Chain A
Amino acid sequence: EAGVAQSPRYKIIEKRQSVAFWCNPISGHATLYWYQQILGQGPKLLIQFQNNGVVDDSQLPKDRFSAERLKGVDSTLKIQPAKLEDSAVYLCASRFKLSTDTQYFGPGTRLTVL
């Protein structure tokens, strides 16, 4: 079974530029998550999708961050414009269906904002 795929793996941009990250969850997984992990911290949930609908985006900085999962499969996370404090690893995770299932994480995208 293929795992959660993310691209790119690394990205370096200057502040005020835009960037987008892509995630392909495990086939058949209805729930998809985006996390932000700042160096030395645990992952923080940014947004959760159930199929193509948003379940929780309470911690997403909506003035600059946006995310979509149009067909209930792949998802993209965008930052526009980026700030220095956005430097972090952005993790995507997916879960099959049941609330008792564990989340499966992708390798992450490391973003550096200069």
Chain B
Amino acid sequence: KQEVTQIPAALSVPEGENLVLNCSFTDSAIYNLQWFRQDPGKGLTSLLLIQSSQREQTSGRLNASLDKSSGRSTLYIAASQPGDSATYLCAVRPWDRDDKIIFGKGTRLHILP
């Protein structure tokens, strides 16, 4: 059974710092991995999607990497800003399930002004 773990559960860093959020998954047979952002009272917004054949994806100040063999992904946020404060969720799509995605519990990020 695929399980997704995110560490740390919560993180506070001063504005301007670079930071890394971690995600691990137990079964390396995945179709893709996705990072979402969730703001309080709002739904999830997709940030980056990495296909199983890819090693990383970049969007602006965000960079996500994928090491499928070790079951790990990281989300790197450069030059953090207070507007980056949110919960970040990692989700994997198992290879044998056409459409189902399995979420981690998320990391609550707070950027200190």
Binding site for B on A (CB under 8 A): 4, 9, 31, 40-45, 48, 55-56, 91, 93, 95, 99, 102-108, 110
Q: Are A99 and B98 neighbours in the complex by a CB distance under 8 Å?
A: yes
Number of A-B pairs, beta carbon distance below 8 Å: 49
Whether the Cβ atoms of B46 and A103 lie closer than 8 Å is yes
Closest-CB distance, A51 to chain B (whole angstroms): 14
Residues of B whose CB lies within 8 Å of any CB of A are 4, 34, 36, 41-46, 49, 89, 91, 98-106
B46 touches A102 (CB 8 A): yes
Q: Is the CB of B98 within 8 A of A91?
A: no
Query: With A and B bound together, what is the CA distance between A99 and B106 in angstroms?
Result: 24
Closest 9 CB pairs of A and B: A42-B103, A105-B43, A105-B44, A102-B46, A107-B43, A106-B43, A42-B105, A43-B103, A107-B42
Contacting A41 at CB < 8 Å: which of B49, B100, B105?
B105
